[in-house]
Structure formats: structure tokens, C-alpha cells
A = this chain, B = another copy of it.
Amino acid sequence: MSQLAERIVSGDARAAARAMRDVDDRIPGYLDLLKEIFPSTGRATVVGVTGNPGAGKSTLTDRLIDAYRKQGKKVGVICVDPTSPYSGGAILGDRIRMTRHASDAGVFIRSVATRGHLGGLSRSARDMVRVLDAYGCDVVIVETVGVGQDELEVTRTAHSTLVVMAPGLGDEVQAIKAGILETADVFAVNKADRDGADSTVRDLELMVALGSEALVASGKRRGHVVHGGVKVDVVPTAEDAGAKGEIWMPPILKCVATRGEGIQELVAALDRHAAWLSGTTTGRARRHLRLAEEVRESLRETLIDAATSALASELDDAVAQVEARALDPYTATERLLEAFRRR
């Protein structure tokens, strides 16, 4: 094991900070480091926090850090911030509030920004989670700023995803991406002291019911429900399966993060979800599928990198031929693929 890997595993914060930077920037050698620390990972619970801008995610994350710290847990936070330079200001302001944890050796906060290429953001986040895991964090919170496609993929790096909503942000539940609803393991209706909180809760209850019960309730004896992006077979009825604890129904909890209200209940719900993941067949199946997704995604990215560097000159030739209409792009692609495999 390299010295850096050893220092991370022994809990050296400066080594972890350096490794996070190397991993985020993909400095040569970062893969060797990740390989070395991998056997020391797998103990941390990874919690994703996502939701529309303005829902109060940063304040809530701040409170979650407090709650986990009171349990004596070491906490890592990765803020995923795929925003433009134009809107960076306000978000940085939110982030600054979290610096009050900066003097606490049991809290480690890092930001990760957008990568230029597809899938890069969730890969960076996942690798950074591994560093924090090896470093000894008991809980790693991955907080996303927005709710776009990128952020949706980032939430898949988490074991449990908390979706934060707030009343009064417009037609909240209707407007949120369907993918986010499917990804939610726990819903927090924040700013619950505001008008409209109960109606947001009711809308969410309806959504959850539609998503998970409609299929079986419609008279099918067998069906499936989608939880956390994983299709689960329901045999013979949802009620039976639910009774066995195999189906996770995302709880919907109200809170007021600014006053610290409802935070204990959220942490308890996340703990229950973690127990469901490890204690049920469906939960374990979900963890397996998430890992399979990771390996597939990693293979995709590695393939592309390898092919692009192996085929640089052939690619240029192919483009020139397509431009001259001497070759169509579909045949060009097939030839490039063959050239790559023959090397």
C-alpha cells in the first residue's frame, strides 16, 4: 500500500483532502490509489440529499451533520454543484453556512463541480465517497444543488436518497422530475410551518401511492413496483409483500430545518431505510443492482477513453470522408469499432 493510502486509512485528514483533490482532478495515479483503498471501504452509509433549489437542502444538510455528530459519528459531505459561473454566487453563500463545521475534526466537507463529459460527475462523486469511506467516515452525505439529469445520476451513488421539498415554490410536486420521485427513499417537506405544507404532503402521498400501488391494485395478481430505480416483482399482492417488509414505502416527513424541527425523525427514517437495505431480499437486490450499474458505467467510460485515444487519426479520417459524403457516419462507426477491437 502506498504511503498516501495508508495515511487515508489511518484517518489522516490532510491525506484524505489531497486524495479527494487528486480523484476529482483525475491526476495520474488516482486509479491506483482507489484500488488500494477499496478493501478499506464499504462501511460508510451514503445518504443523498436532493430537491428543487430553494427547498432548503443546505440548511437541512447542516442539521443532519449536527444530528449525526451527536451520535458520535464521523461525517463526510460532498456538495455536487453543477452550476454555471453566472449563478454560483448564491450557492456559495449557502455553502458558507456550513463552514461552522470547519473546526470540527469529525466533519469533512468538499465540493465537486461539473465535469465536461457524460457521467463524469457521478463517477467523481462515487470515487470521492470511497475516499471518505476509507478515511473512516460513518456517514457520507452527497448533496446536490439542482435536480437535473446529472444530479439524478449522482443520487444513484447513495444508499438512501432524501428528497427535500418546500411549500410555496410553485407547483412543486407536479414540476419535479418523475425520475426524482422514483429515486426518493425518504421525503422531507421542509419549511413545514408555511402555508401549503399539508397540501404538499398530500400531493406526495398521492404520488407515492400511484407509483407503488396502482399496478397491483388494478387487479393484476402479479406486477412490479419501482423503488429507488429498481424494479421489484410483487407476488402475489402488494399487501402481502408489504407485510413481509419487502416493499419500502418512502415515508413523507415534515420538518423546519432552520429551527431544527423534525430532524431526529428524518435521521430515524434514514436509519430504517439502511436497515431495510441490508435486512431484506429486495433491499439487498437493490444494492446489488446499484453496484452492477456502477461497473457498467465505469466500463462505458473506460471504453470511450481507450477508443478515443487508440483511434485518434482514424477518427479524423472518418470525419473527413463523411464530410465529403464519401462515407456515411453509420458505416464509419462500424469500421472504427472493428479497428478498435482488432488492435
List chain A positions with a Cβ less than 8 A from chain B: 31, 34-35, 38-39, 42, 84-87, 118-119, 148-150, 174-175, 177-179, 288, 291-292, 294-296, 298-300, 302-304, 306-308, 311, 315-316, 318-319, 322-323, 325, 328-334, 336-337, 340-341, 343
Give the secondary structure class of A's interface. Answer: helix
- Contact partners of A294 in chain B: CB under 8 A: 329
Q: Does B315 lie within 8 Å of A299, measured CB to CB? A: yes
CB of A40 to closest CB in B, whole Å: 10
The 10 closest A-B pairs by CB, nearest first: A84-B178, A38-B328, A292-B319, A298-B333, A35-B328, A303-B303, A302-B333, A149-B149, A300-B304, A35-B330
- What are 25 inter-chain pairs, A to B, with CB distance below 8 A? A31-B330, A35-B328, A38-B325, A38-B329, A39-B325, A85-B178, A86-B178, A149-B150, A288-B319, A291-B319, A291-B323, A291-B329, A292-B316, A294-B329, A295-B333, A295-B336, A296-B308, A298-B329, A299-B333, A299-B337, A300-B303, A300-B307, A302-B334, A303-B304, A340-B341
- Return the contact of A329 from the options B119, B179, B295 (Cβ within 8 A): B295
A216 to chain B, nearest CB (A): 19
Complex Cα spacing A311 to B296, Å? 10
Q: How many whole Å from A30's CB to the nearest CB in chain B?
A: 10
On whether A325 and B42 interact (CB within 8 A), knowing A84-B177, A333-B299, A341-B343, the answer reads yes
Contact, CB under 8 Å: A332 / B42? no
Q: In the complex, A300→B35 CA distance in Å?
A: 26
